[in-house]
Structure 1
Amino acid sequence: MRQTIPRLFQALRALQHENPLGLPRTGTIPRMQRGLPERRKIKDVAKVVAVSSAKGGVGKSTVAANLSLAFAKLGYRSGILDTDIFGPSVPTLFNLSGEPRLSSNNQLLPLSNYGVKTMSMGYLVGEEAPVVWRGLMVMKALQQLLHEVDWGGLDILVLDLPPGTGDTQLSVTQQVVLDGSLIVTTPHALAIKDAVKGINMFKKVNVPLLGLVQNMSLFNCPHCHTDTAVFGSNKRVQEVCREHSVELIGDIPLHQNVGDDGQRGKPTVVSEPESDRARAFIKIAQQVGSKIGL
């Protein structure tokens, strides 16, 4: 039978085994336990930008997906890597499924749609299968996603980080040379508090902060055409940017179509390229590109 995924992932998916990674129980200690991994560039990728939020539910994956599509629309060879092992969103957002094939050098080949190359754990496990793994298994899977994918040459790779400031985020910053990071928040007070945690995390690990993206900022009523701050005023966001010397790099309005577009696998930049929402994502991509020398 022709092998379609690396043996490591075949082992990772065998969740019923006590030792699914096949690691030695005694003897050699994995390098991950001996010290910090070496930070290195992702092969065949010129620039790497991480999109993060310390709070779930703020639309981070939607922003990351539209940002990668905006880069493609601007003429760059663009890709997106979904690093959320437990709750991958990229397969849904890009309307993709199926196991990746292997390249001639035993690397995972990305799946593509709308001119963007993608890779996600969601391609390697069943759509409804829970990932019930301990930390070491997650880190091994993440390491392969970061360094064993054949991107075939990209100008820009967007990393969609999971919410929080834990193992995955730290592993990414320790294993990959990042050209910068974006923090996604909403104007809601709780989201802003967590955004500050994300800002401080990237400062601690010496990753350049490119800016903060405020998602779902204002709702424009289609009947009376009045703007309403559904999640609160953006004054606090502006204060946080001043306090932490971070630029407010983008404002994405609250609109039903943004969520609906993502759910049906055709994000806003593709489905409504002339809309205000799509133009907001394009503007963010232009600013990010300028900041990282793209």
Structure 2
Amino acid sequence: MSIEVIKPGALSTFQDLGRTAYRHLGIPVNGVMDERAHRLANALVGNLPSTATLEITLMGPTLRFHEDAVIALSGADLGALLNGEPLSVDHMVAVAKGSDLSFGKRSFGTRAYLAVRGGFVFDPVMGSASTYTRGAYGGHAGRPLKKGDVLSLSQLAPSSRLAKLSQAARSLSQAFDDQVALPPDSPIRVIRGREWSCFSSHAQQALEAAPYRISPQSDRMGYRLEGEKLELTAPREVISEAVDFGSIQVPADGQPIILMADRQTTGGYPKIGHVCAVDLPRLAQKMPGETIRLTLVDLGTAQRLMLSQQRSFAALEQLCVASS
């Protein structure tokens, strides 16, 4: 079973939940930018969450299916078309042999995730199929898709329960959004960082009060923000220490950087805050040039939100296990 790449799109790479066991060796985690969309796309077709999806950024590829398949798209609406007909996100769809999946006009979001029932075939690198383009490893030849690539698919037995499981996955995701997630344009929730007290009161207030524009020099490694300068009360040397997805570092120019999926493993800039895990998917759907606002929440609130998200993820995984 295979899919042929007719057009590669702007940046189409395979990602999974990342390679988390090698950070002590300086190996980045990588993985999906929007974990919620990745997990939902997999659940809609009955895959386990560890199955790699194709992360499609802004301008999607054109893919030709050489065998029948079952697919789902989640995350951004990038104007997906199946044989020229509109294809909705967050729906399971049967694709016939010879069909073309393409993308047109973007409606919202930045990253869409394509899951194929059974998953794609890869040789894992350090236990993960995630593509790290800077290191040229993982995914398909360690790079984004290009014209002429042939992508192999695994075979997974059909499930008579898949339609009901897919509907249940959509319902679970919608319930989570209604209870925990915020509308796309709502402020991004953050908690205070390790060096919060080292920043001036003006900087602490500006973090919430001032809008920040996502710089064009932003990518999967980090979102550089442009806006109110965040100043320390005094010059400070910070010993490099572990950083994570969502850490908000402030270099000498005072313009914050939010670390994203391809972040380095350690950093030595002061950290004024950290994006709550539950809002990382919303942030990942923002694109350079867009403006965001940040809002502080306490640690207890962040933990409650994270636990609610983990329960949602666990419920989706149980659905996948039931269909496999």
In the superposition, the TM-score normalised over structure 1's length comes to 0.26
In the superposition, the TM-score normalised over structure 2's length comes to 0.24
Structure index of larger Rg: 2
Which structure shows the bigger proportion of residues in helix conformation?
Answer: 1
Which structure shows the bigger proportion of residues in strand conformation?
Answer: 2
